[in-house]
Structures are given as C-alpha cells and as structure tokens.
Structure 1
Amino acid sequence: MAGREVTLLTEGSIELVGVIPRSSNQTFLVQVSLGEDVGFAVYKPESGERPLSDFAPGLYKRERAAYLLSEWLGWGFIPHTVIREDAPLGVGSLQWFIECDFQHHYFTLFEDAPETHPELSRMALFDFVANNTDRKSGHVLRGDDGRIWGIDHGLCFSAVFKLRTVIWDFAGEPIPEELLADIAPLAEAVPAELAELLDDDEVTALQRRVQRMMLAGSLPVDRTGMRYPWPLV
C-alpha cells in the first residue's frame, strides 16, 4: 500500500476536487490518478500561502521536512508527503489523504481512547523536536485503519523557539528510553535530505532542541500557560 501511495503522489496526474475549508492558507483536496489507479491527496501550493512575518514563503517545504523527520525516526505518523513542481497551481506539497471520522481529534482521543496515549505522547516529543507552532487538536487524526496520524506541519522548524500545541497532558513525564535512542543521533547531525529543506540556523536549532531533550529526559512543561495555538481545534 505504501508503495502505491508514493507512486500515485509522485507520478500521478493531479485534478483539483475542491477547497478544504477553514484553512489559513489555500488548501485543496485533489484526485491523483495513474491509469486505473486513483487516490486522494491534500495539495498546499506555495501560491496560496498567506505571507507571514516569522516564516519565509515555502511552507510546503516544511510539510515535506516534517514527513521526512517522522520517517527517519521510524515513527511514521505523518501521511506520505511529496513536493510536486507540476501541480495545477504551481509548486507545493502533496500529502496522502487520510480517511477518518473528523469528529475525533486530540481532545476526544485523549479522553476516550487511553490506548492511544503512548502515540500521543510521542507526538508531543516530535512537536518539540520539530518546534511545531501549530499543533491544534484537529491536526491529530485516527484513521479508519485505527492508526494515529498527524497533519498540518507547515509551521515547524523555526530557529526561534515557538512551540504551540494542545498536547500538554504528558508534560513532565519521562521520555521512554527507546524514544530517546531514536532522537539521539539528531543531536550530532541532521539527515541531509531534511537539512536541505531548512536553513542553517534552523538545522542548528533542531540539534540543540534534541540536546536539551536528551539532558532533560522528560517532556517539556509549559510554565507560561500560553503555549497554545488558536483556535484550539
């Protein structure tokens, strides 16, 4: 299945289906097809990005970078994400669409599905490493396949610490040794394919965040009470 998804995303023809509502930047549902094989993806073109004072244009690169980081760590919770130069509205990210019940999100999963807590806690660690400034509750999905997925990572990897997330329920808890082992190599070097999508200051800042986590050994605590995105969902 994974090979099929990657093939469709990288080689398939792209047809706009509709606009995904309530997105701060233009975001589209698209159909990708290759012969008789058809799937759906989320397309975020650079041309539809709203100018920001604290992030340079090219947020689509950060979507790809977050996917590469998740894959490199072996955590695999971000849907397959590629960059397409030949998309209908110009260059942008193309991410496999996750079939799910959108009534469920981080808050409902934390309350009603305690078996997901290890994965949600791991996502909190990822968001610190990636410096995610926009982990809303609705950016956490439970797919029809039962897996926990994270989406919307265009506002990650700033060199300035800007963490904003709804996942604070695990704050202060020890990080499992196996997860510390997963992130440890990043303290010394960031994979080239990921580093190429960031600037030098952002790469250095990522390494320093990992170094801090390795020393702390526990998930960060928000002592300000202000490190939340808005809206929360």
Structure 2
Amino acid sequence: MPAPERIPPRSLTALDLLTKGELKVRGQVREASNAVLYCSVSYEGEEAHCVYKPVAGERPLWDFPDGTLAQREVAAYEVSEATGWGLVPPTVLRDGPYGQGMVQLWIEADPEQSLLALVEDEEPGEGWKAVGFAEVGEGRTALLVHADDVRLRRLAVLDAVINNGDRKGGHLLPTADGHLYAIDHGVTFNVDDKLRTLLWGWAGDPLPADALSGLASLSDSLSADGPLATRLAQLLTAAEVEALRGRVEALRGAGRHPVPSGEWPAIPWPPV
C-alpha cells in the first residue's frame, strides 16, 4: 500500500477531513478478522489515507452487543485524547460506501523501531520488560519481552482504563517522528473485566506521575456534565460509562499498574 499523505493539512484538522471528506475504497486488509478497508479521503483539496471499518462487516461476538465495535473504536480515541497522550489515531464515526462505520487516519509504522522481542535468556535484559514465555517450535520456548518505554507504559494505563481485551503486538505503530499510535480497539469498554495484553511488564509497579496526571484529567472529563461523559453517552451504554469511571477511580486509588486476574489467559493469542 502507498504511504499516506501527512496530516495536519493546511486548513483542516484530521477530524474535519475524516468526517467531511469523500471516501474511496482502495483495498482491503485481508488478515483482519472483521472487514477493514483501506481508503483515501479527500475534502477541499486535502487528501489522506485512512481505514474504514463498516459496522456491516463486524463479526458477532458472544460477549459484546452486535454492531457496536465501531463505536468502541471511536470511544477509545476520545478517552485517549482526554488523557492528553494522543495514543490513538484520529477516529470518527460516519457513513461510508458500505454504511456507517469507523474511519481512522492511516498511520505508517517505522519498521526500524522494535518494541517487542523473543529472547533465549531467562532475564529480559536492560531496557526490556518480561511478559512471559512463549513456544517457538520444536519444544523450545523463549521469553517474550517489550520495551521499557514511556509510550508503552502510558498505553498500558490506557488499556487498563478502556478494558482492552485484545492488545497485540501488531496493534503498536511507532512512527519515524518518535510517536507511538495504537489501533484496533473494538473489544473494549466491557462492564466485565476483559483486560488481555502484552504490556504486563509493569504489573504491580507504582504508577508514574504522568499516568496519575492523565487519570486525574480523565476523572474530571468523566464527571456527569463533563465533555467526555457527554460524548461517550453517544457511543456506549450508561453501564459501560459508569464502569469506565470505576476503573479510572480504582487505578487512582491503588496508584499501581493492574496485575493479571488469574481467571483467564492474560496474554492474547496469537500475541502479535
């Protein structure tokens, strides 16, 4: 696929372009479990590439209401923005060639940046955090590790907040300019604990100051008349918004990264 045009354009925000622009389907991401279409979007002389996930292409899940994954993707973007971390690419809910769906700015990852690794040693090594052991074939196992990176640490907090049930390595998009984006947030915001992630390297550790600050901003925005609460009421159920508030306050009260519950596999499969 060709590299996308860079955003922001001269006179439009990325959200304006994604919301108002004309969508043209250019291809399909075939390895995805749901329909994911690669598109161009153009408006008033500006153009970018984006991902369009129509609700009609969502596969039913036993533990999420049908036809709600696109709204959850948008809600994850809204929560990310409220923290001030900008971890989720600009994302909107709109009509497209195949009906309503999620439209998200395409992010080109830098292939030179490695955030995950498999190592033969029993210790992760300097600059890495251990996740757990994984089978690598012929009866051999290796230690799965992720980078000890402030960007990933913020993402680990965001995932705990939105109750991400599927944080895999392929969802991490580091860019050449040093930013980290995360994608694929359809299985989030469940009222039941669903957290499954590769980012357990800080489990039980005290939350850093920037995480506590981001959580405080979230708490303010989620007050009954706060801007985030108003927006999320259009995307999630009242019970899901209330559960979100509960997770934010629980993290603030504990002051530590969560640990696996032990009630189900904590790492998604396949991990990448």
By the TM > 0.5 criterion, same fold? yes
Q: Check if 1:53 corresponds to 2:62.
A: yes
Aligned partner of 2:18 in structure 1 is 9
Q: Check if 1:226 corresponds to 2:265.
A: yes
Aligned partner of 1:151 in structure 2 is 183
Q: How far apart, CA to CA, are the structure 2 residues paired with 1:146 and 1:178?
A: 18
- Where do 5+ consecutive residues of structure 2 fail to align? 1-6, 118-126, 129-144
Q: Check if 1:214 corresponds to 2:214.
A: no
Q: How far apart, CA to CA, are the structure 2 residues paired with 1:103 and 1:164?
A: 26
Cα offset, 1:215, TM superposition: 1.7
Identity within the alignment, %: 40
**1:228 counterpart SS class:** coil
TM-score norm. by structure 1 comes to 0.90
Give per-residue Cα distances to partners, 1:64-90, cap 9 Å, x unaligned. Answer: 0000001111111110001112x0010
Aligned partner of 1:139 in structure 2 is 171
TM-score norm. by structure 2 comes to 0.78
- Where do 5+ consecutive residues of structure 1 fail to align? none
Q: How far apart, CA to CA, are the structure 2 residues paired with 1:191 and 1:181?
A: 18
**1:65 counterpart SS class:** helix
**1:207 counterpart SS class:** helix
Q: Check if 1:180 corresponds to 2:246.
A: no
Structure 1 or 2: more helix by fraction: 1
CA RMSD, 1 decimal: 2.2
Q: Which has the larger radius of gyration?
A: 2
In the alignment, residue 23 of structure 1 is paired with which amino acid? Answer: A
Q: Is the 8 A contact 2:83 2:217 kept in 1?
A: no
Q: Is the 8 A contact 1:165 1:228 kept in 2?
A: yes
Q: Is the 8 A contact 1:106 1:141 kept in 2?
A: no
Q: Is the 8 A contact 2:108 2:173 kept in 1?
A: no
Cα offset, 1:47, TM superposition: 0.3
Q: How far apart, CA to CA, are the structure 1 residues paired with 2:113 and 2:60?
A: 30
Matches for 1:64-213 after TM superposition, within 5 Å: 64-85=74-95, 87-101=96-110, 106-108=115-117, 111=128, 117-184=149-216, 186-187=218-219, 189=223, 191-213=229-251
Q: Is the 8 A contact 2:115 2:146 kept in 1?
A: no
Which moves more between the two structures, 26-35 or 176-185? 176-185
Structure 1 or 2: more strand by fraction: 2
Q: Is the 8 A contact 1:106 1:138 kept in 2?
A: no
Q: Is the 8 A contact 1:27 1:44 kept in 2?
A: yes
Q: How far apart, CA to CA, are the structure 1 residues paired with 2:32 and 2:271?
A: 14
